[in-house]
Chain A
């Protein structure tokens, strides 16, 4: 956005300045140094505020006064170039310029914070960026593993919590919205994230917005968003594959080992992406077989995806296409252990239920981008989920949803941009578990970015959110956000923001009615939406020296949520029959406040012949409940939060060798559900847990190690050891995390 402002001002000033002088001409074309594609809107400056911009073919014509000049060529996402030029009166010179994609940390381009491209430093909210190199080098195939090892995020049993804002509530929907290229991937029935559907084989960047983002992204973005951006095709094309096999080691407690033959897992991935003429084509597939380190907790799945994108040759800026993904899995999800003494890695038979799942996405889209003045995007996602339980078909379910989004971006003038959109999602559920339901979610949003000064950016946004369930309309909910970013120095950015969050309960939370093992689950049709807001101030400092490239970020934040849903245990009447029984029911239970700060460091450097990449972070939170009537803190610490979490990753490479060491530390979980500590219920719900918890809830330290050897330009052999110290630690109650395990990978890149 700043680029457009600069370009406009530069053009105007160039006109004023050049009027009446004898001109020389410098012309040329600016292209992507890797793909050869024209760069539209690149800025060519010969003084601080004088210059021109490229047209849609990347061509520019610059009128210059005679003499010596230093030209600066800039484009968002690319490394700027400076070119010395000496030109005589009336002379015409020509030069084509190839810009290389940006590599500096502070100038990384993100799209999630404002739904338009901007540099990470210019965002008004906290954003973390994860690059795909971390996925490959560390043998990460599960998105939750990657995110769990990122600063400020903890994933507990598939539920993401950013800076302690969400915590964990078994069976509740996600309070963090996951997206693929901006399209939500929340299951319409359970409101959960289908992590395995993410096309990990073709990821260009992962962007994490830390804080309520419901104004732009609607329900489920209560605590933030995670946007998985896929890579674009290039004329050169790419073909990547890997095949991997791994082995679980023995647990620290030898009497927990229940297997006689090695627990071997394996996976395979291949993806291809190439631009053929005006059409981008991408295909990818991933297959995994994991017998698990726990008895009766295995998963086999296959995922495939395709991308088709056509650039219309007649209408400049018009693109359209179709993306699709499909997932089939066969698994038993872990619920509770057999006992805490010898059966912690054995899934109790009463809750071990095999699931055959099928998920299918189809995403048509059309986009028109015109002359850096406006863009129209219309995107649709048809989603189908089917859950089959071969041992108990009475709880099979089908879910369908149709999501449509229209987004308009307009550059109103040199100072103001407007981003507005309409969103609608219709869902239909057919289930013996939840019942049959039809839901409608609709939203309209508008956000304006104003830059009254070159260094200052102001953001304000509003959304109207509407939900309807089974024909009953909920009230129209207004949501607001505002932010400010000030560029104190070329590499120092101050920011402050406020944003509201909102989450409508999932079908599962409202209507799930079943018996799980010996435990009943009651529906609660009267469940209310969750809502909240967060505010933060932060500073981001870029570090660019001849030997260093990096950034440091520090943010102080405050999050307040009300009516957070969790399943609590009680003797209560069934809401439909009135018959009382023991069981769980989703209730608006938690009123939370989280105070804290986070610091993040990314540093790339070269010492001698060694390249180093250092990435670390530390988060402190104070999470407490508050009384919704007096608004005073109760002092009761929130469940499933930790005060301290830290991460440090060091990756280095020398010639053909690569080494990665990743260290993680987390303090103890501050509080858990009463049902696990209450003397009346704790042994019947999770045998042996309370004693284990008393002794072992002390926090944990983890280390992962990876070693890689590049056989040649195309092939790499690598070894990864996860949980190197064989630390025994737990996620949610009873969910012992994997012990030390090893994997060997052979990968190729063409």
Chain B
């Protein structure tokens, strides 16, 4: 009986504490914090300065639970795709929805990659990598 108590008590203890703690999901990780841009790269080069391609992603990024969001100076909507491995951002300021692949999503870091046609050179694709830190 004593051996049984020794087994049961830790199990109950673990269940109690595991139930009391919410598990992270991609949705909660993304929406429960404000993100701040850390690096905005195009083809490996910084492109977040004024006048550069990603300057409007500079600043704070919020993915609201209701599907709306602010992404630097852009506002619009966002949604997950491909079993929560992609984030698609839609704003009226961008010509098309921006489909980004999630590389890292933790409580502290968000890294996304995407590609976009070069607006100045037809047929050339720009490789974009954006990283954000939790505020």
Chain A residues near B (Cβ < 8 Å): 524, 526, 528, 568-573, 580, 582, 587-589, 627, 629-630, 632, 634, 674, 678-681
- Contact residues in A for B67 (Cβ distance below 8 Å): 627, 634
Contact A571 B82 (CB under 8 A): no
Task: Report how far A569 CA is from B115 CA in the complex, Å.
Answer: 14
Who on chain A is nearest to B95 by CB? A680
Cβ of B66 < 8 Å from any Cβ of A? Answer: yes
Contact A627 B82 (CB under 8 A): no
- Contact residues in B for A580 (Cβ distance below 8 Å): 115, 125
Task: Report how far A580 CA is from B99 CA in the complex, Å.
Answer: 11
Contact A570 B115 (CB under 8 A): no
Contact B66 A627 (CB under 8 A): yes
Having A526-B82, A587-B82, one finds 7 other A-B pairs with CB under 8 Å, namely: A571-B116, A587-B81, A588-B81, A627-B66, A632-B66, A678-B95, A679-B95
Which residue in A526, A528, A570, A681 is a CB contact (below 8 Å) of B88?
Answer: A570
- Given the known inter-chain contacts A627-B66, A627-B67, please indicate yes or no for A681 contacting B82, CB distance below 8 A: no
Contact A678 B65 (CB under 8 A): no
Number of CB contacts from chain A to chain B under 8 A: 44
CB distance from A635 to the nearest CB of B (A): 10
- Contact residues in B for A674 (Cβ distance below 8 Å): 90, 97
Cβ of B6 < 8 Å from any Cβ of A? Answer: no
- The listed residue with most A CB atoms (<10 A of its CB), out of B66, B96, B115, is B96
CB distance from A216 to the nearest CB of B (A): 30
The 12 sampled A-B contact pairs (Cβ below 8 Å) are: A570-B97, A571-B117, A573-B101, A573-B115, A580-B125, A587-B82, A627-B65, A629-B31, A629-B65, A630-B65, A632-B66, A634-B66
Contact B99 A572 (CB under 8 A): yes
- Contact residues in A for B125 (Cβ distance below 8 Å): 580
Task: Give a binary string over B103-130; 1 marks a CB under 8 Å from any A CB, 0 the rest.
Answer: 0000000000001110000000100000
Who on chain A is nearest to B67 by CB? A627
Number of interface residues of B (CB under 8 A): 19
Which residue in A569, A571, A630 is a CB contact (below 8 Å) of B66?
Answer: A630
- Given the known inter-chain contacts A587-B81, A629-B65, please indicate yes or no for A680 contacting B96, CB distance below 8 A: yes
Contact A570 B96 (CB under 8 A): yes
Q: Which of B68-100 contact A (CB under 8 A)?
A: 81-83, 88, 90, 95-97, 99
- Contact residues in B for A571 (Cβ distance below 8 Å): 96, 99, 115-117
- Contact residues in A for B90 (Cβ distance below 8 Å): 674
Which residue in A573, A627, A629, A678 is a CB contact (below 8 Å) of B96?
Answer: A678
Contact A629 B83 (CB under 8 A): no
Task: Report how far A587 CA is from B65 CA in the complex, Å.
Answer: 21
Task: Report how far A588 CA is from B80 CA in the complex, Å.
Answer: 10
CB distance from A341 to the nearest CB of B (A): 25
Task: Report how far A39 CA is from B101 CA in the complex, Å.
Answer: 67
- Contact residues in B for A627 (Cβ distance below 8 Å): 65-67
- Contact residues in B for A678 (Cβ distance below 8 Å): 95-96
- Contact residues in B for A568 (Cβ distance below 8 Å): 97
Contact B83 A570 (CB under 8 A): no
Contact A528 B96 (CB under 8 A): no
Which residue in B83, B95, B99 is a CB contact (below 8 Å) of A526?
Answer: B83
Who on chain B is nearest to A579 by CB? B125
CB distance from B2 to the nearest CB of A (A): 42
Who on chain B is nearest to A575 by CB? B82
- Contact residues in B for A589 (Cβ distance below 8 Å): 81
Who on chain A is nearest to B68 by CB? A634
Contact A569 B83 (CB under 8 A): no
CB distance from B31 to the nearest CB of A (A): 8
